[in-house]
Structures are given as structure tokens and as C-alpha cells.
Amino acid sequence: MPSTRRAGAASRALARLAAQLLQAWFEKRADWVAPAPLLSGREIMAALNLPAGPAVGRYLELLREAQVQGLVRTREEALNYLRQHGAG
């Protein structure tokens, strides 16, 4: 009987964890997966003296990835990051 209780407690704990993870996913997804861009394409073009074109999209994607990883949190950090890492 004790092992049945332990299994039940473990099952309830797992269910609570799953519920917490799902709640976090739906409440924090925007921050974790698709944060609001720190810079627009026009701002990137102006700051880096770029013409409109595919390179701007690559810079936007590079910036999104850096934001998701927590490498940049402000507009200034974003500009410095893009200047250092480029979008080749």
C-alpha cells in the first residue's frame, strides 16, 4: 500500500508541474518565443545605413534570436549587438 500512495503523490506532483508549465507557456510565450522587437526594420536601416532588402530581415531575425536568448534587453544593446554581429 505505501508504494501505491507514493505513486499517487508522484502522479499528483507531476500533474501540478505539467499545469504550471502549461500556464507559464501560455502566459509567457510572447516573452520567451516572440518578444516585441526592440527595433523596427526602418530603425535598423537608419542606424546601420542599410538599403531596404533581405539583409534587413536577417538583422531582424538576428535581433529576435538575441532577445530570446537574453543577450539584449534595450534598444542600445540591440544596436550594439547588431553592429558587432552583423547579419552577413
What is the 3 state secondary structure string of 10-30?
A: HHHHHHHHHHHHHHHHHHHHH
Q: Give per-residue pLDDT as tens, 4-51.
A: 777 788 889 889 988 888 887 777 776 667 788 999 999 999 999 999
Residue closest to 23 by CA, chosen among 34, 11, 15, 35: 15
Q: Report the Cα–Cα distance between both ends of the chain, in Å, rounded.
A: 64
Q: Give per-residue pLDDT as tens, 58-85.
A: 999 999 999 989 999 999 999 999 999 9
Q: Could you tell me the pTM of the whole model?
A: 0.65
Separation of alpha carbons 52 and 8, rounded Å: 60
Task: Using the structure block, give the residue that is written with the C-alpha cell 505539467.
Answer: 18
